Amino acid sequence: MPDCAVAVSSRLPNVGTTIFTVMSRMAAEAGAINLSQGFPDFNAEPVLFERVSHWMREGYNQYPPMAGVTVLREAIAAKVANLYGTAYDPETEVTVVAGATQGLFTAVTALVHPGDEVIVFEPVYDAYAPAIELQGARVVRLALHSPDYRPDWAAVAAAITPRTRMIMINSPHNPTGSVWSAEDMSRLAELVRGTDIVIVSDEVYEHIVFDGRQHESCARHPALAERSVIVSGFGKTYHITGWKIGYVVAPAALMAEFRKVHQFNVFTVNTPMQYALADYMADASRHLGLAAFYQAKRDRFRAALADSRFELLPCSGTYFQLARYRAIRDESDTAFVEWLTRDKKVAAIPVSAFSAAAEDEGVVRFCFAKHDDTLDAACERLVAL
């Protein structure tokens, strides 16, 4: 391989390989049970694959419309209206994207300008800050703290300045499993009322909310819906994270700007899979039953670790469980997960990886979106620590 003959000036000089890639590679090398990266180790229903094959055989293999096939956009709009009470026009206010990460990046690229400020809550999904920095904007980081990781609304109010262009929120929250309440959404609406602040709401875990709680989508709150770009997807809902298909809903004026960027950084998304997903969405039980499915796994995982030396933190949503480990080893969370993966053969994610300040509260994240026998085997090793 030739040496590079040009000088490289990185636009993301402080960004390395994502922690998810690092830990999954380490897990594979160590032969560890991988509870680190957030994907299931089980398949979707065969009928979904059959529908993809059907549309391929029917010849739906060329470019679809830039915004997504009409039947899928209509199905998305109907689902959002049924769940949250806000009607989005499938023609002008719904766009199918190549996964939620692309949707988030496109929203930031389309709506944030150099010199703007964007508020995020840490621990924060690692795709947010690079998207902001690439636009020449400033990331304003507000800390969420264990055990409940609730937003401090006084701190949010203090962080808003005339340069604040966007606030990025995520509920149910990765990595902490916290879920915002209706009161949280009302407080947010109060703070942005009368401003030009855009909300980007990452709602990919919208159907994984436990213990009878209700997901408070921005679409459920009219004062937020009118200024929000809502990003969700099919990967977490239908156990197909590798398909990388999601969707965005937003008022027409915001969506028009979103599509200006979308058409050039992706243009469009896999055609037969879009038709298949539209077919599959017709049975609402497939997403409405997801909370009970994952709550059973959460409860199984927590019960199995009840006699361990881990301190299990609250988990109100997502398929992630946080655990404090300092009763086992007094070291950094990065050192702990490396030891856990290589020596004890269970891989996890250090929560400090989700914070630029690398705040280390001695907490790691486990993914319980796994077969029951996978969880049982992992818990047997964890209880023995």
Give the residue among 118, 125, 129, 122 at the shortest CA–CA distance from 167.
118
Say if residue 367 is in the same domain as residue 323: yes
250 found inside a domain: yes
Q: Tell me the helix, strand and coil percentages in the chain, rounded to 5.
A: 40, 15, 45
| Structure token pair of residue 376 | 């049982």
Tokens representing 48 are 């979904």
Range(s) of the domain holding residue 90: 63-284
Q: Is residue 2 part of a domain?
A: no
Q: Is residue 53 part of a domain?
A: no
The Cβ of residue 174 has, within 10 Å, a number of other Cβ atoms equal to 23
Give the DSSP H/E element, type plus range, for residue 333.
helix 333-344
Among 301, 328, 321, smallest CA distance to 384 is for 328
In a domain, 177, yes or no: yes
Cβ-contact 252, 91 below 8 angstroms: no
Mean pLDDT of 214-242: 98
Whether residues 141 and 78 fall in one domain: yes
Cβ neighbours, 10 Å, residue 272: 20
Which of 308, 300, 306, 281 is closest to 375 using CA atoms? 300
Residues in the chain: 385
Same domain, 225 and 84: yes
* Structure token pair of residue 189: 């609406």
Type and span of the H or E element at 383 = helix 372-383
| CATH classification of the domain holding 82 | 3.40.640.10
Tell me the Ramachandran region of residue 361: left when phi exceeds 0, alpha when psi lies from -120 to 50, beta otherwise.
Answer: alpha
Q: Decide: helix, strand or coil at residue 147.
A: coil
Predicted pLDDT at 178: 98
292-318 pLDDT, tens digit per residue, is 999 999 999 999 999 999 999 999 999
* Largest Cα span, the chain: 59
Q: Are residues 169 and 300 in the same domain?
A: no
pLDDT at 172: 98
Using an 8 Å Cβ cutoff, are 124 and 355 in contact? yes
Is residue 319 a contact partner of residue 210, using CB atoms and an 8 Å limit?
A: no
Q: Mind listing the pLDDT tens digit for each residue in 168-225?
A: 999 999 999 999 999 999 999 999 999 999 999 999 999 999 999 999 999 999 999 9
Whether the pLDDT of residue 39 is over 80: the answer is yes
Same domain, 70 and 183: yes
Q: Is it the case that residue 358 has pLDDT exceeding 80?
A: no
Strands (DSSP E) contained in the chain are 33-34, 94-97, 117-122, 138-143, 164-170, 198-202, 228-233, 246-249, 311-312, 320-324, 346-347, 349-350, 363-367
Which residue, 216, 250, 284, sits at the end of a domain?
284
Q: What are phi and psi of 322, to 5 degrees?
A: -90, 145
Computed over every residue of the chain, the mean pLDDT equals 96
Non-local CB neighbours of 100 within 8 Å, separated by 6+ positions: 202, 204, 231, 232, 233, 235, 246
151 located within any domain: yes
pTM above 0.95, yes or no: yes
Between vectors from CA 322 to CA 379 and to CA 216, what angle results, nearest 5°?
Answer: 125
Q: How confident is the model at residue 365 (pLDDT cuts 50, 70, 90)?
A: very high
Which of the four pLDDT bands, split at 50, 70 and 90, describes residue 119?
very high
What's the pLDDT at 19? 83
**Distance, CA of 272 to CA of 69 (rounded, Å):** 10
DSSP state of 44: P
Mean pLDDT of 22-45: 93
Residue 56, domain member (yes or no)? no
Out of 267, 284, 301, a domain closes at: 284
Q: What is the mean pLDDT of residues 92-115?
A: 98
Q: Six-digit token pair at 179? A: 């879920």
Phi, psi of 232 (to 5 degrees): -145, -170
* Terminal-to-terminal C-alpha distance of the chain: 45
Rg (CA), the chain: 21
Domain end point (choices 284, 299, 320): 284
The per-residue pLDDT for 368 is 98
What SS3 class is residue 81? helix
Q: 215 versus 8: which is more confidently predicted?
A: 215
Report in angstroms the alpha-carbon separations of 288 from 35, 77, 209, 231, 368: 25, 16, 10, 18, 19
pLDDT at 55: 98
pLDDT value at 357 more than 80? no
My answer on whether 252 and 276 are in the same domain is yes
